[in-house]
A = this chain, B = another copy of it.
Amino acid sequence: MSDLEETKPHESVQDNLQLVIALLAKHRVVEQLVHKQEMPRHELVESLVHKQNIVGLQKKLDTMHPADVAFILEALPLEDRLVVWNLVKADRDGEILLEVSDAVRATLIADMEPEELVAATEQLDTDEIADLAPDLPEEVIEDVFQSLSTEEREQLRAAMSYPEHSVGALMDFEMVTIREDVTLEVVLRYLRRLDDLPDHTDQLFVVDRGDILKGVLPIGRVLVNDPDKLVAEVMAPEVTRFRPGQMADEAAQAFERYELVSAPVVDDHGELVGRVTVAAVMDYIRDETESDMLNLAGLREGEDIFSSVWKSAKNRWTWLAVNLVTAFIASRVIGIFEGSIEKLVALAALMPIVAGIGGNSGNQTITMLVRAMALGQIHSANARALFMKEIAISLLNGVVWGGIFGVFATLLYHSAPLGLVMMAAMTLNLVVAAVFGVFIPMLMHRLGHDPAVGSSVLITAITDSGGFFIFLGLATWFLL
């Protein structure tokens, strides 16, 4: 919060980006002229203008919030990005590295000397260093460890040890703790000795001598209650608390449900080991939904929009390869029925419709289920009812849409039997989609996989190959 004084509010982020781009363009013109030696005589003048531009740019960057500098770095092509990066004050490097996306962070770190990296971490808290650690070279991490106090070293080791999607990975160590047997007056005096409260301090943590969490004291209560009251009298003894090993998703749900700003994290003995803030939770939710979206679209991870063609292509190949394998299988299914298609070529034109409706409907079912499962709404008592409902919808859709396309096929190819086969195949493929649309996410969940990843590819593979097989099979049997 304390940053807000020195930095401009966000209304100007887009304007700042435009300004930086304009300054960089001027900078580049000068560089080119000097490089081509087309302006040897005016060099002095030009380099003066040049310097003014650079100084102006640097001043601008210094007034900006680290998150806004990060935004600008992400929006610039590599060359310009590094020009700007080298103008950023060294003591802000760490904060900015925390804010940029993984892909862009890699390009910035690649441009830095080990000493610069060590210096950059020196401004950061241990939980923040742990966030950067996976991207730092081994030697830098070792140097960083050397520079820390014993307590910090312990914190960093702990923070680095928690798996990626655990509460421990979201945790920070900036909590203010108090005892329950003191008056609010004492708490107020204690707080007044601090320079500032840590960000997102909406409550103080009440602990005993053994650091066992006894409750929390919301800041509001410190303010509205009589200073003579004891902490024990006004604190909230029962609070939402987390374990470091708990899934971060659970914490995120609790933060949304109970509208929390911060929450304590305790170990198995009830000892306070850290806290989670709404800022960390929002970052986490953003990252999670983003990676879900990327996975659904067949991207492995977020791309730096200015990364090389080669890097981008590699990011996209995993899913492209999976999709091509399933397309190849579908193609071989069609291959089995080449004889039938030769005799009745209308089948070739109609078959993508049968495959398509299955894929679309199956994806609808899966999305509904994945969402309900993520919310914990599905349990053994209602799974059967849900399954029957999806089957009923698929039959209804089969009658309606199958009927419409059956009539189309009949009219287009002057063959009522073809129309009937079309309708039957669409209905059957819709039922297949409903069955696997319920079955796949449930199976994935039971096997401990995230049902959001891969379910869509799998259902499409099944309804494509299945749709071709059902339609061409029925046609071969009944029409030829």
Contacts and interface: CB of A to CB of B under 8 A. Distances in A.
Contact of A279 (B188, B259, B324, B382): B259
A278 interface: yes
A305 interface: yes
Interface stretch (A48-56, A161-169, A213-221): A213-221
B241 A286 contact: no
A408 B297 contact: no
- Secondary structure dominating the interface of A: helix
A96 to B, nearest CB: 12
A261 B200 contact: yes
Contacts of A396: 309-310, 313
A349 interface: yes
A331 B468 CA distance: 14
A457 B351 CA distance: 19
Contact of A364 (B286, B298, B405, B464): B298
A299 B364 contact: yes
A421 to B, nearest CB: 15
Contacts of A257: 10, 65, 67-68, 71
Interface residues of A, number: 138
A5 interface: yes
A219 B223 contact: yes
Interface stretch (A111-119, A122-130, A191-199): A191-199
Interface stretch (A86-94, A144-152, A370-378): A370-378
A323 interface: yes
Interface string A385-427: 1100100110011000100010010001000000000000000
B188 A306 contact: no
Given A74-B375, A223-B192, A324-B356, A361 B253 contact: no
A17 B379 contact: yes
10 contacts: A1-B220, A9-B240, A21-B381, A25-B381, A192-B225, A197-B219, A219-B219, A278-B282, A309-B396, A327-B356
A133 interface: no
Interface stretch (A38-46, A267-275, A334-342): A334-342
B309 A389 contact: yes
A447 interface: no
A480 interface: no
Interface in A174-232: 188, 191-197, 199-203, 218-226
Interface string A332-376: 101100100110011111111101110011011011100110011
A158 interface: no
Contacts of A5: 236-238
Contacts of A352: 327, 330-331, 334, 352, 355, 464
A439 interface: no
Interface stretch (A29-37, A134-142, A288-296): A288-296
A371 to B, nearest CB: 7
Contacts of A367: 293-294, 296-299
A361 B9 contact: no
A354 B292 CA distance: 26
A233 interface: no
Given A261-B261, A283-B256, A375-B71, A240 B192 contact: no
B372 A286 contact: no
B225 A197 contact: no
Interface centre among A5, A258, A392 (most CB of B within 10 A): A258
Contacts of A253: 10
B77 A305 contact: no
Contact of A327 (B21, B75, B200, B353): B353
Contacts of A316: 361, 364, 393, 397
Contacts of A10: 240, 250, 253-254, 257-258
A302 interface: yes
B297 A364 contact: yes
